[in-house]
Amino acid sequence: MLNVAYIFPGQGAQYVGMGEEVQRRYPPAKEVFERANNVLGFDLAGLIFKGPFEELSRTLNCQVAVFTVSVACLRAFQAQKPGINVRYTAGLSLGEYTALVAAEALDFEEALRLVRQRAQYMEEAAQQNPGGMISLIGLPLDTVKKICEEAKVEIANLNCPGQVVISGSLAALEKAKDLARACGARRVIPLKVSGAFHSSLMTKAAQKLAKVLEGVKIRPPRIPVISNVTAAEENSPEEIKGNLARQVASGTRWEDSINFISSCGIRNFIEIGPGKVLRGLLRKIDPQLKVYNIETVEDLESFK
């Protein structure tokens, strides 16, 4: 039997209409949207399916939207393709919550409430400490570290070889842009996010989330979940809670996470949820890895 890893996208993968076809065709997916509406107390499904995009992309809405669509696609896939031998699961930033649901460490409703609070705290921190994020393409990591030191910004995401996302205040990022170009960066891309996520400017959000997590019941995962913070398997509920809180204000290690899974003999990955961002990153991490996407009805029907 084929051994696979499930991987789940994070904030930024959203688009109006995501998941709509899938929930029309598959009752388990439709049920996820209905449960989300009940938990949140507003029509999240309507916002996802109809927009507007600006409101959907607000941190407060975007995180619950991407999480809900990812779980809906997961439930449809599990119903259609039972018996998949899932050896590991991981998610990029927000996607780690979907990974924990897939591993049965968190119930959907509990995870959704957590994601909503996480988004609220991150949005509040972004308003108190305005900042942003920039993707630097084509620079060695050592060079990026020197730029960060000089510009007073931080490494937020180690996504794949040659791509590092930095995070910081708006003024500091302007300086970092100039330094990166002077060092020969192929591309300097400002990200469409509302704050300096995965940096010390999110410390208050991380502290608030840690307090909430104290009262949350997390079970030992039935499938190993790879942490964004450690890029290693974490099975202890207390360690998982600590890492979820730390993740908000520290860098994510996606490249290391995928290399860890690959080193354990897994060469097949299934990206479940909106977009194909992770597929692109995995191609750059190791072109020999195979990635299958589960996002649309066509994906579900054609998967073998």
| DSSP result, 171-228 | HHHHHHHHHHHHTT-SEEEE---SS-TTSGGGHHHHHHHHHHHHT---PPPSS-EE-T
Q: Is pLDDT above 80 for 107?
A: yes
Q: Are residues 156 and 50 in the same domain?
A: no
Question: What is the rounded average pLDDT of the residues 229-252?
Answer: 96
Query: What's the domain count of the chain?
Result: 2
- Domain termination residue (choose one: 190, 213, 240): 190
3-class secondary structure, 18: coil
Catalytic pick among 57, 167, 198, 199:
198
For residue 271, give the CATH number of its domain: 3.40.366.10
165 and 181 belong to one structural domain: yes
DSSP state, 86? E
Please say if the pLDDT value at position 1 is more than 80: no
Please check whether residues 89 and 205 belong to one and the same domain. Answer: yes
Same domain as 242, residue 145:
no
In a shared domain, residues 73 and 119? yes
Whether residues 28 and 85 fall in one domain:
yes
Does 200 qualify as catalytic in the annotation? Answer: no
Q: Are the beta carbons of 105 and 225 closer than 8 angstroms?
A: yes
Instruction: Judge if 111 and 142 occupy the same domain.
Output: no
Among 171, 190, 209, the domain-final residue is 190
Active-site annotation holder among 57, 70, 93, 250: 93
171 and 227 part of one domain: no
List the alpha helices (DSSP H) in 13-52: 20-25, 27-40, 44-50
Show the domain range for 155.
131-190
pLDDT digits (tens, 9 = 90+) for 23-58: 999 999 999 999 999 999 999 999 999 999 999 999
Alpha-carbon Rg for the chain in angstroms:
18
Indicate whether 56 and 183 sit together in one domain.
no
- Band of pLDDT at residue 304, cut at 50, 70 and 90: confident
Of 148, 186, 180, give the one whose Cα is nearest residue 167.
Answer: 148
Same domain, 123 and 84: yes
Q: How far from chain centre, in Å, is Cα 302?
A: 25
- Catalytic annotation present for 93: yes
The average confidence (pLDDT) of the chain is 97
pLDDT surpasses 90 at 101: yes
Indicate if 74 and 115 belong to the same structural domain.
Answer: yes
Q: pLDDT digit string (tens) for 200-240? A: 999 999 999 999 999 999 999 999 999 999 999 989 999 99
The domain that contains 169 carries what CATH number? Answer: 3.30.70.250
- Domain boundary pick from 160, 190, 220: 190
The answer to whether residues 296 and 205 belong to one domain is yes
